[in-house]
């Protein structure tokens, strides 16, 4: 490694010079810490300021730029210098904008932030690209419905070849069976022609798309850029190498035979919305019982949806579908009447125009809960406006708006051939994915700990990252050859695991992205748009794999975990706790990395009991030295010191936004950003206590079923580890309350100062660390 030549660049702009003495900060860097190059500028992000840094780098006097200015989350494009290592010391959001100007404590905070930046630079090596071999630019799309067809079209438009796999013998899915579709073009008031046939023809006729009907994926191994996928078509197997995978397997209707209380099965004239679509496409709607025209039709919304005994969620599009069908009925026959009985009608956005059109066309909307439907088609509902049970008689047909069940597994597969022995027999093809006891396998660290204690058994039930959950109904879509099992991880209600704001399309399996109703209920227009988003993520993944760079959320990061096998104990904690299946074991039980699966979260680093896993630009010693660089006053100063290890994805941005909003909080905190709370090692806690810190807070993302952790389970792992720290603190005669874990959303900028101040008050009440000064 070449000689380190650090340079410190201090910005006086954005109120920094008014809040602290920049001259004193230059003394800290130059005189105290002997950094040879130290410069100040009125506005470092200006062209002149950037040129000042670039000139020193070009002249060879600096090869590490330590910039004391705004948060490292902003101006990243301005402070890029051809691969030169850039370290950011936050003097704006977390000092000048969140602390009183001119105060001694504010100056001490700024100085410590600068010291930590210089310490970070001393242990940082600029990572180099480590791409291995050629990568494929072909995208595999699983599912030939509206979502899969749209994904294939968008991928081809972006210049990528596509293999389109469909398990049935025809393309189009459910969408091909619709008589008309909901309005997706202005003025959004009338049902529009179904154009799926044209989309099928466009995709099928494109030379860059290989269409494979009657095909299933029997095996998927490898990693982004180099997935090896085995396809079975009519009994013949074929292996394709693809760069990324888009899963667009769609949905199926909830099994209406479970809705006997709503009359299904008691009369042939109680039908589902899907069955009605077939009638609408065939011509005038007729009763199944006698073939007579259906003149009076009642639609029952939320048939089996938003019901803990059936589907606990709302399928969101059922209301608009019923409006579409009711409009088709009354427009085809002016003498027909259509009633829509709803508990809550959901017509967001442009669908509101659709709702108004139905009202104007004479569709009657009735608010209330349906109590029952008998064999004579008498519907009794509790009218919310009248406050009484109202019978609706003389109906020709009752239509049940059943919900959407995601095809996150293959419901037609009675068993899955997989190395994880996850064989599922006697599966009801119409059964919903949600099953008793299944929590979606999002992982809180507990199961991973258990798995680590029993090497070889972790994650063998295959539904998520070391979690020993019940087997999923249906066979796997991709039959992944991952330690964590063959299935794509799913949420409690059966939808593919992702967060609709923080990380849509993600599956916890890098390079594999879900879209359409397998991710959440969607209509045709939403599904097509969702497909475009997933394809963009897939393209990013395969291209980054070719460069050896990470994908979301550390996009472009070239660093990779380096594992020192000389002291590795083969404990398998890194392989079990990795949220993305990026680490396996070789024939000697040593960990082996799948580089393009890795998202650089550092969970493996935090899991390693012998601290033999590190990154070039993020490592155990680096953070330890940053903690050690803080000046801790003695107890007589009455100035406590509190360490905050803040997740860079939610907590750190929340702290920045608190400063942007000029919310002030305790000046005694020292913030070290970490990639994920899962990367936090116990050495950092002990280092801080030995240094004399009086309190330590781990500040991470939301955990649980509705988690927001970009690395899935970092906060959950941290909580469990801190429970063990409590025992250690007790043995040292230190209070457990000195170490806390807080979950902070990126939207909690108004709340986070209260969290910090409350913890600081608690530390003052407990008293100073008795080891301070030793």
Q: What is the mean pLDDT of residues 679-693?
A: 92
Q: What's the gap between Cα 592 and its chain centre? A: 25
Class of domain 1-126: alpha beta
**Contact (CB, 8 A) for 347 and 320:** yes
- The answer to whether domain 1-126 and domain 255-402 are alike in fold is no
CA–CA distance, 542 with 535 (Å, rounded to integer) = 11
Q: What is the mean pLDDT of the chain?
A: 89
Of the listed ranges 142-146, 286-290, 323-327, 766-770, the one predicted with least confidence: 766-770
**In 123-220, alpha helices (H):** 146-157, 196-204
Predicted pLDDT of residue 427: 31
Domain map of the chain by residue range? Answer: 1-126, 255-402, 562-613, 618-774
Buried residues in 561-584 as b, exposed as e (16+ CB within 10 A): bebeeeebeebbbbbbbbbbbbbb
Q: How confident is the model at residue 471, as a pLDDT? A: 57
Cα separation, 479 vs 458, in Å, equals 18
Task: Summarize the confidence of residues 340-348 as an average pLDDT.
Answer: 94
pLDDT for position 283: 86
Q: What are the angstrom distances between the C-alpha of 346 and each of 351, 523, 723?
A: 9, 13, 44
DSSP string, 215-276: EEEEEEES-TT-EEEEEEETTEEEEEEESEEEE---EEE--GGG-GGGTBTTBTTEEEHHHH
> CB count, 10 Å around CB of 259?
21
User: Quick one: three-class SS letters along 78-106?
Assistant: CCCCCCCEEEEEECHHHHHCCCCCCCHHH
Residue 698 confidence (pLDDT): 96
Model confidence over 582-619: pLDDT tens digits?
999 999 999 999 999 999 999 999 999 999 999 999 99
Of all residues in the chain, the percent with pLDDT exceeding 70 is 91
Mean pLDDT of 41-59: 97
CATH, domain range 618-774: 3.40.50
Phi then psi for residue 139, to 5 deg, are -115, 130
Q: What strand order describes the sheet that includes 512-514? A: 209-212, 162-165, 139-142, 244-247, 512-514
Is the torsion defined by CA of 164, 168, 170, 175 positive or negative? negative
C-alpha 467, offset from chain centre = 18
Residues counted in the chain: 774
CATH class in words for 562-613: alpha beta
| pLDDT at residue 9 tops 90 | yes
SS3 592: strand
> Tokens 């004399």 — which residue?
692
Segment 161-179, tens digit of pLDDT:
999 999 999 999 999 999 9
Rounded to whole angstroms, the Cα distance separating 393 from 707 reads 47
Residue linked to tokens 């709503």: 262
Judge whether residue 425 has pLDDT over 90.
no
Task: Name the nearest CA neighbour of 475 among 256, 312, 249.
Answer: 249
Please give the distance of CA 202 from its chain centroid, rounded to a whole number: 32
Mean pLDDT for 310-314 is 95
Per-residue model confidence (pLDDT) at position 38:
97
117's enclosing H/E stretch is helix 104-122
Phi/psi at 339 (5° precision)? -115, 135
Q: Is pLDDT of 297 > 90? A: yes
Whether residue 437 has pLDDT greater than 80: no
Superfamily of domain 255-402: FAD/NAD(P)-binding domain (3.50.50.60)
Calculate mean pLDDT across residues 339-346.
Answer: 96
- How much is the average pLDDT of 232-251? 96
pLDDT at position 472: 64
Distance CA 568, CA 611 (A): 9
pLDDT in tens, 695-727: 999 999 888 777 788 888 888 888 888 888 877
E strands, 649-719, are 669-674, 695-700
User: Alpha-carbon distance 150 to 156, whole Å?
Assistant: 10
Which among 485, 490, 488, 491 has a CA at the least distance from the CA of 468?
A: 485
pLDDT band at 552 (very low <50, low <70, confident <90, very high): confident
pLDDT attached to residue 47: 97
DSSP 8-class letter at 678? G
Position 500 scores a pLDDT of: 67
Tens digit of pLDDT for each residue in 721-755?
A: 888 887 778 877 888 899 999 999 889 999 999 99
**Strand, helix or coil for residue 70:** coil
- Give residue 423's pLDDT: 29
1 has pLDDT over 70: no
Identify the pLDDT of residue 504: 85
Match 């035979």 to its residue by tokens.
257
Burial of 637 per CB tally in 10 Å (0-12, 13-18, 19+): exposed
């Amino acid at each position: 490694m070449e000689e380190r030549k650090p340079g410190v660049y201090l910005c006086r702009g954005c109120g920094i010079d008014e809040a602290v003495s920049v001259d004193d900060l230059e003394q800290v860097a130059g005189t105290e810490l002997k950094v040879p190059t130290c410069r100040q500028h009125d506005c470092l992000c200006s062209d002149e300021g950037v040129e000042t840094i670039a000139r020193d780098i070009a002249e060879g006097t600096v090869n590490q730029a330590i910039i004391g200015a705004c948060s490292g989350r902003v101006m990243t494009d301005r402070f890029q210098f051809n691969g030169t290592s850039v370290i950011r010391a936050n003097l704006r959001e977390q000092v000048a904008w969140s602390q009183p100007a001119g105060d001694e404590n504010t100056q001490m905070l700024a100085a410590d932030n600068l010291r930590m930046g210089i310490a970070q630079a001393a242990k940082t090596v600029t990572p180099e690209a480590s791409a291995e071999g050629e990568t494929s630019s072909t995208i595999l799309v699983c599912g030939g419905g509206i979502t899969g067809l749209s994904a294939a079209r968008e991928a081809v438009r972006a210049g990528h070849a596509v293999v389109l796999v469909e398990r049935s013998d025809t393309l189009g899915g459910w969408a091909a069976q619709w008589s008309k579709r909901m309005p997706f073009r202005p003025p959004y008031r009338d049902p529009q022609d179904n154009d799926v046939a044209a989309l099928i023809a466009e995709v099928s006729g494109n030379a860059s798309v290989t269409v494979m009907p009657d095909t299933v994926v029997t095996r998927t191994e490898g990693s982004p850029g180099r997935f090896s996928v085995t396809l079975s078509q009519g009994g013949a197997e074929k292996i394709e190498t693809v760069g990324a995978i888009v899963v667009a397997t769609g949905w199926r209707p909830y099994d209406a035979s479970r809705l006997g209380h709503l009359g299904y099965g008691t009369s042939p004239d109680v039908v589902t919305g899907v069955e009605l679509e077939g009638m609408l496409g065939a011509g005038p709607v007729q009763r199944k019982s006698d073939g007579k025209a259906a003149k009076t039709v009642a639609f029952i919304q939320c048939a089996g949806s938003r019901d803990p005994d059936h589907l606990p969620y709302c399928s969101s599009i059922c209301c608009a579908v019923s409006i579409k069908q009711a409009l088709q009925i009354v427009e085809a026959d002016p003498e027909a009447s259509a009633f829509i009985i709803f508990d809550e009608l959901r017509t967001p956005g442009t669908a509101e125009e659709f709702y108004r059109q139905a009202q104007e066309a004479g569709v009657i909307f009735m608010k209330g809960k349906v109590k029952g439907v008998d064999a004579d088609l008498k519907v009794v509902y509790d009218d919310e406006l009248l406050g009484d049970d109202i019978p609706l008689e003389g109906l020709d047909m009752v239509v049940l708006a059943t919900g959407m069940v995601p095809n996150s597994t293959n419901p037609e597969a009675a068993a899955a051939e997989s190395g994880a022995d996850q064989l599922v027999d006697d599966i009801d093809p119409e059964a919903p994915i949600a099953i008793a006891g299944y929590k979606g396998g999002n992982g809180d660290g507990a199961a991973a700990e258990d798995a680590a204690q029993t090497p070889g058994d972790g994650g063998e039930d295959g539904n998520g990252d070391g979690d020993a959950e019940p087997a999923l109904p249906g066979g796997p879509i991709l039959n992944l050859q991952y330690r964590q099992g063959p299935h794509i991880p799913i949420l409690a209600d059966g939808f593919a695991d992702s967060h609709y704001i923080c990380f849509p399309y993600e599956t916890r399996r890098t390079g594999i992205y879900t879209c359409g109703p397998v991710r959440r209920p969607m209509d045709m227009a939403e599904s097509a748009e969702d497909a475009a988003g997933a394809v963009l993520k897939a393209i990013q993944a395969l291209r980054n794999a070719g460069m050896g760079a990470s994908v979301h959320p550390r996009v472009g990061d070239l660093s990779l975990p380096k594992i020192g096998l000389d002291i590795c104990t083969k404990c398998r904690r890194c392989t079990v706790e990795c949220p993305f299946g990026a680490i396996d074991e070789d024939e000697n039980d040593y960990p082996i990395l799948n580089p393009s699966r890795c998202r650089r979260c550092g969970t493996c680093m935090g899991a390693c009991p012998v601290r033999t896993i590190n990154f070039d630009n993020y490592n155990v010693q680096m953070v330890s030295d940053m903690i050690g660089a803080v000046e801790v006053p003695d107890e007589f100063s009455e100035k406590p010191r509190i360490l905050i290890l803040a997740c860079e994805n939610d907590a750190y941005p929340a702290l920045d936004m608190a400063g942007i909003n000029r919310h002030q909080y305790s000046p005694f905190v020292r913030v070290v950003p970490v990639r994920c709370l899962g990367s936090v090692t116990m050495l950092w806690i002990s280092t801080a206590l030995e240094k004399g810190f009086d309190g330590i807070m781990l500040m991470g993302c939301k955990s649980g079923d509705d988690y927001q952790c970009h690395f899935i389970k970092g906060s959950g792992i941290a909580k469990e580890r801190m429970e063990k720290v409590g025992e250690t603190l007790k043995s040292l005669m230190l209070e457990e309350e000195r170490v806390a874990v807080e979950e902070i959303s990126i939207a909690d900028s108004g709340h986070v100062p209260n969290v910090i101040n409350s913890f600081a008050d608690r530390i003052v009440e407990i008293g100073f660390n008795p080891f301070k000064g030793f």
